[in-house]
Amino acid sequence: MEPGHTRLSLRSYSAREDTHVHGFHQMVLPVDGVMEINVGNAGGSVSPDQGVMIACGARHVFRARGGNRFIVLDIPREEFPVLAWQSPFFRIDRTLADLTRYAGSELLTGALQPESEYHLAALITGKLRRSLIASSRPSGPIDRALAIMHQRHDERLTATELATAVGLGASRFHDLFRRETGRTPAEMLAHIRLDHAEELLRRTTLPIAEIALLAGYSEQSALTRGLRRRRGTTPHVFRRRTLSP
């Protein structure tokens, strides 16, 4: 993409699963159809009321169903604040939906001139930037800890690291975390990792060994033990069950 310039385009995608990693941020907004997408280990869809912001360097696996069209903005990484605790998925309000429809119409007819493209891209990214900054910051230390767990569950996080990150002593953090969530930090992290693994098993055809690593396990056998102990199943059984008609 051109340095320092946000590129705005109308694209369609196939039902074949594909994987990309970009050196820039990418925003995808729906015009027609649905895209199933996993960004890192966060799974979801681009659908009429939801878009996705893919951070620079984030591995994403995706496919679209049926006839589809999406507005795609390729955004230089220095132009947009992707916050560390932020989910890649965001809700589309009326203003953003109107901008998306207008952009789709102009791009479809070929009527969008370069200057107009620049200003329209700025309107869309500006609208989303304001919404994310206003709404995405967690309110308390346990909210922040949970957000870090979701964002960095594939790392070797410890309760001490989490306590330091949210500004609490280790003992105070452990007590407050258990009181607010009903689980210890270690139990919650195990739960989050299994949720991410199940989402990847359900929505992708990635090898189970790769899913284990993406979910934060050292090897496939560790994922298998965790699923069997906490959910009463195995990766192979879970995938086969969710793919059955």
pLDDT tens digits for range 116-173 = 888 888 889 888 877 766 555 556 899 888 888 877 888 888 999 999 999 999 999 9
Query: Are the CB atoms for 143 and 70 separated by under 8 Å?
Result: no
pTM of the model: 0.56
Residue 244: band (very low, low, confident or very high) from pLDDT cuts 50, 70, 90: low
Judged against a pLDDT cut of 80, whether residue 86 lies above it is answered with: no
- To the nearest 10°, report the CA torsion of 154, 157, 159, 160: -160
Residue 85: band (very low, low, confident or very high) from pLDDT cuts 50, 70, 90: very low
Q: How far is residue 117's CA from residue 103's CA, in Å, rounded to a whole number? A: 9
pLDDT of res. 13 = 95
pLDDT of res. 242 = 75
Among residues 29, 27, 6, which one has the least CA distance to residue 92? 29
Residue 11: band (very low, low, confident or very high) from pLDDT cuts 50, 70, 90: very high
Amino acid (one-letter) located at 58: A
Instruction: Give the pLDDT confidence of 175-194 residue by residue, as tens digits.
Output: 999 998 899 999 999 988 99
Residue 12: band (very low, low, confident or very high) from pLDDT cuts 50, 70, 90: very high
Domains of the chain: 7-135 (2.60.120.10), 141-243 (1.10.10.60)
Q: How many CB atoms lie within 10 A of CB 67?
A: 8
Complete DSSP assignment for 83-94: -TT--SEEE--H
Judged against a pLDDT cut of 70, whether residue 204 lies above it is answered with: yes
* Mean pLDDT, rounded, for 46-69: 89
